[in-house]
Amino acid sequence: MSKAELLMPAGNIEKMQYAIAYGADAVYLGVVDFSLRSMKAGNVITQDNIKQAIATARQMGASAYVTVNVFANNEDIEKLPALLEVLQDEKPDGIIFGDPGFYSILKNKLPDVPLHISTQANTLNYSAVKFWQDLGISRVILGRELSLKEIEIISSKVSDIELEVLVHGSLCVSYSGRCLLSDYFTNNERKSNKGNCTQPCRWSYHLVEENRPGQYYEITEDDRGTYILNPKDLALIKYIPDLINAGVNSFKIEGRTKSLYYASIVAKTYKKAIDSYYQGSEFNADELFDELTKTNNRQFMTGFLVDKPDTEHYNYKSSKGITGATFVGVIEEHVKDNKYIVKLKNQLKKGSMVECITPGGAIETIIESMVMVKGNNEVDVANTNHHVYLELNLPEHMKTEFKWAILRYKE
């Protein structure tokens, strides 16, 4: 079996580049109307730049998959060919879809592009995997409700097809991502399965029991309600060796709307675990897990992989993410010697201790001085989106990677 790939999200081209620089073997990206992340504004992947995104990924040595995994209405079926025509020049390395109505169109328009079945198809058994294989599908993204043992059985029964598993990121309370809560609460204006979810599973709820006509009794955990539908995030970093042994070919990370800091740190962490397996060396699972807590999360759990989810798999107190470290900024340019231009993502104060992280290493340093690029004046405090000159004494092995360097506060 070939080496299992690390598959990272690409919310935009910049995030995609950082994900690849920090270890992603492949990225998945989608456009408005066909993706389950339908950001319509800002720096996003569109039909205008999707070919550029695919070409950029390949230039950096990664595969690029395009998602068309919405549940389609008639109008979606009619709009799909136009997108596929855009992709005929710069064909992706795979198309991820879940609606059977897309199958014949994809085969007709992009006959040479491998097809991947989305987790939205909730494939949970080897017979279903064999069904898709017989249709010429090259990869099945398994339902997230499977245990490690069930994955092993599927792999042993259908050994000549690629299997992909979600190993990290946010989860919704629904079954394999198939949810109607957003549709219901917005009178069908914000459809979950069209990429426009309002995330009702993160709202604070009060339970009301009807005891007799006209009289209701609130059942609440506290005076603010309770987040009864709010799962913790998935983190299977400790089980990477087990999943590889079980026959998993691709490890998917969730988070197209997350920051480039998230993409970088998560990619670097999981890549280390995967590489350690193939190099025959042990990795410190607790240390890697701790590194993941320094990205935005709702606390972590293991989903269905080890045990069936119980109350410990939910966060009943808050739906807001927590971060164990603060993203400071990115290095944009090497000026001379140890002087770099940094674009700030959060406020930075003179005298702060920061970690400078690159794909190949990390170093701690104190910010002795800051000079504004605009105005060339020294300051004690600089704010988000400011460009500043910083003196960073990077070791030789990190200097060649300054283009992808990120800074965070040392907590």
pLDDT tens profile 20-41: 999 999 999 988 777 655 555 4
Helix ranges (DSSP H) in 161-239: 181-185
Structure confidence at residue 185 (pLDDT): 60
Say if 201 falls within a structural domain. Answer: no
pTM, two decimals, is 0.86
Q: How many CA atoms lie within 13 A of 98 on its CB side?
A: 23
Say if 221 falls within a structural domain. Answer: no
Say if 349 falls within a structural domain. Answer: yes
- CA-CA distances (angstroms) from residue 361 to 368, 400, 405? 21, 11, 10
335 and 274, same domain (yes or no): no
Say if 178 falls within a structural domain. Answer: no
141 and 253, same domain (yes or no): yes
246 and 300, same domain (yes or no): yes
Beta strands in 138-221 (DSSP E): 139-141, 162-169, 207-212, 215-219
Say if 59 falls within a structural domain. Answer: yes
148 and 45, same domain (yes or no): yes
Residue 81 belongs to a domain with what CATH number? 3.20.20.70
Residue with tokens 């990121």, as numbered in its chain? 169
349 and 244, same domain (yes or no): no
Structure confidence at residue 216 (pLDDT): 47
Ranges of the chain with pLDDT below 70: 1, 35-42, 173-230, 309-321, 411
Q: What is the H or E stretch that residue 264 is in? A: helix 260-279
Say if 196 falls within a structural domain. Answer: no
42 and 162, same domain (yes or no): yes
119 and 64, same domain (yes or no): yes
Structure confidence at residue 31 (pLDDT): 83
Q: Which domain holds residue 401?
A: 327-409
Return the structure tokens found at 179. 């949810």
Task: State the DSSP code for 231.
Answer: B
Say if 319 falls within a structural domain. Answer: no
Distance of CA 283 to the CA centre of its chain: 22
284 and 402, same domain (yes or no): no
pLDDT in tens, 308-360: 765 565 555 555 667 789 999 999 999 998 899 999 999 999 999 999 999 99
- Ramachandran region, residue 155 (left: φ > 0; alpha: ψ -120 to 50; beta: rest): alpha
96 and 129, same domain (yes or no): yes
Structure confidence at residue 319 (pLDDT): 54
20 and 89, same domain (yes or no): yes
Picking from 258, 290, 313, the residue at the C-terminal end of a domain is: 313
How far apart are alpha carbons 401 and 18 in whole angstroms?
11
How far apart are alpha carbons 286 and 293 in whole angstroms?
11
Residue with tokens 């990206």, as numbered in its chain? 29
88 and 152, same domain (yes or no): yes
Question: For the purposes of burial, counting CB atoms within 10 Å of the CB of 241, is it exposed (0-12), middle (13-18) or buried (19 or more)?
Answer: middle
Helix 126-134 vs helix 148-157: angle between axes, to the nearest 10 degrees? 40
**Is the dihedral angle over the CA atoms 127, 92, 192, 304 positive or is it negative?**
positive
Structure confidence at residue 310 (pLDDT): 57
Picking from 313, 346, 375, the residue at the C-terminal end of a domain is: 313
Residue 386 belongs to a domain with what CATH number? 2.40.30.10
Return the structure tokens found at 354. 């920061």
- Give the chain's domain count: 2
Q: How do strand 348-349 and strand 300-301 relate by DSSP bridges? A: unpaired
Say if 160 falls within a structural domain. Answer: yes
